[in-house]
A = this chain, B = another copy of it.
């Protein structure tokens, strides 16, 4: 059997046909009467955006006043409001809405946020009083995993499911950046303030964005700057060797330090407001400080000191683990790795280093525990890393609205930890930080050159939600869904209702027919799409389920397993340690149990596996008829694309159902008590 060679080239620039949440419905919400009384560099952007929106729709009744703080003070706005506003940081804005009249006060990015809040209807109904709005997270960043050239198997965007790169084509920056301009607006409108433009797996060609191709980054920075967004680069730790011709990249080597300082100086020469570096070091084959016997603090501080004079920041990823694990070795646990590597370094990172921690200890699974690293580094600036691109959650072929999952992670409360004197704080609070030590939310983008931006048009909801939750992690996922739906498709109640029904619980639906009870993976190796129960079971990647004829799951207890459960503060350590108190949805993440183990739900594990996969598939079948109801109410090309993808979701969900039911029936020999067919 054979596979024919594949040839993929970057698609040419796609025309800007889908304006997402900044199209005619948004334009129709902008009041017809706008008074803009403000100064500063972003005012021109607001003016331009008003003009653009005016070409799309007539605008709403009512009036909008936009003022900077100085103007508002001159015009006599209550000093208490202005004081609260100025204490709320540079991105805050004050809003007063009264009937169809709205008024915004803010400077620079604050004013821009306020403007978009009105356009998108984000601020909620007005009370007639001033209210100050400020982001909960200082850092609200998107990471693009874009390469400049196309890999014949991986495509251009690593783990991208929306066509080629929005930025690059044939190894260089695209000529036509019209869509990047609109993308910058879309991000700004939902509050994103940083974008890293290239893949964290930095290949030789892309490494030159730091040096000989920095002009291309500068052009992108110009576009994003107009929307108050700063640009960052993923860099290779081996740059001094790779680009500088040095013999070492040792972080303690003076020559290496000089090289990085000069490199940073040159970048800031071209991009004065450059955001900094993102780096994946000593992970999955990427170079890092370990090669020189140094640790990750040494590595991060090397880059941090080069950026510090310019106010730049280092985003140092904590996704470090042994990817040459021996499946025979039950003592190694990939889930422990980030904690084992990073927790001991707490306090050693410079002030302009942000340690970027994946939300879970494995790898962006549909369900996994919260990363204990987030509770273990009180003296370090942290960012929690989420994945908008749906690598493990249906690859933008399956509906999977991720806001509920992200919200659950962000709201996870770490209890006080003995000896550290910390109060119970949520993930969102821990990463937000305080004082000068602010962190935030970073997420891997799901956007590409696809005409609908995200492959699956409804996956735009994830990009929208990511921005909104980074701004305010306490927003309900339903509210965000409605905001996006109305901004994009208007206020037709049927459209809102159908989209709500299809998306609101689509993450739980996806979970129901894929890997059960927190065990993770079970995907086809390499591309990670579709089921393969044993696909990673005997591989070096450290992602096992240990299913046998009697039971399944990973024993991560302190008593008999890898000890991972003990990395949490109480009450979590005890709660996860005991099979009696471990939540059902994480049971197989923490415990190896017999198929006949009874869940809190009352079902046995095996019957749960049988039932939820069969029920999940049945539920998937209900999606298409509902979507049909929107024919004529959304753009026809978009409607057709979603229909095609729903068919694929049906096919794939059926495959998941049948493979998992068959695999576990073959293993357990226990019949499905409902008698539904098993192949």
Contact = CB atoms under 8 A, between A and B. Distances in A.
Interface of A: 1-5, 147, 151-154, 158-159, 201, 203, 284-285, 323, 327-328, 363, 526, 531-535, 538, 541, 547-550, 655, 658-659, 662-663, 665-669, 679
A201 B2 contact: yes
Instruction: Give the interface SS of chain A, mostly helix, strand, loop or mixed.
Output: loop
27 contacts: A1-B323, A1-B363, A1-B541, A2-B158, A3-B153, A3-B154, A4-B201, A4-B203, A5-B154, A5-B203, A152-B152, A152-B153, A327-B679, A328-B679, A526-B526, A531-B538, A534-B663, A538-B655, A538-B659, A538-B663, A547-B666, A548-B666, A549-B549, A549-B666, A549-B667, A550-B669, A667-B667
A550 B328 CA distance: 24
A1 B284 contact: yes
Contacts of A535: 534
Contacts of A669: 548-550
Contacts of A2: 158-159, 201, 284
Given A5-B147, A548-B667, A549-B549, 11 more contacts: A1-B363, A2-B201, A3-B153, A4-B285, A153-B153, A328-B658, A532-B538, A534-B663, A548-B669, A549-B667, A667-B667
A20 to B, nearest CB: 28
Contacts of A152: 151-153
**Which 9 residue pairs are nearest across A and B when measured between Cβ atoms?**
A548-B666, A5-B151, A328-B679, A534-B534, A549-B549, A538-B659, A152-B152, A549-B669, A2-B201
A203 B3 CA distance: 11
Nearest to A321: B1
B328 A3 contact: no
Contacts of A203: 4-5
- Count of this chain's copies in the oligomeric assembly: 2
Contacts of A327: 679
Contacts of A667: 548-549, 666-667
Q: Which of A1, A4, A526, A665 has the most CB of B within 10 A?
A: A1
A328 to B, nearest CB: 4
Nearest to A147: B5
A535 B379 CA distance: 46
Contacts of A541: 1
A522 to B, nearest CB: 11
Contact of A534 (B4, B363, B532, B658): B532
Nearest to A158: B2
Contacts of A328: 658, 662, 679
Contacts of A666: 547-549, 667
Nearest to A284: B2
A250 to B, nearest CB: 23
A669 B594 CA distance: 14
Contacts of A548: 665-667, 669
Nearest to A199: B2
A288 to B, nearest CB: 14
A363 B1 CA distance: 8
Contacts of A3: 153-154, 526
A550 B284 CA distance: 39
B151 A549 contact: no
A281 to B, nearest CB: 14
A668 to B, nearest CB: 7
Contacts of A159: 2
Contacts of A526: 3, 526
A235 to B, nearest CB: 16
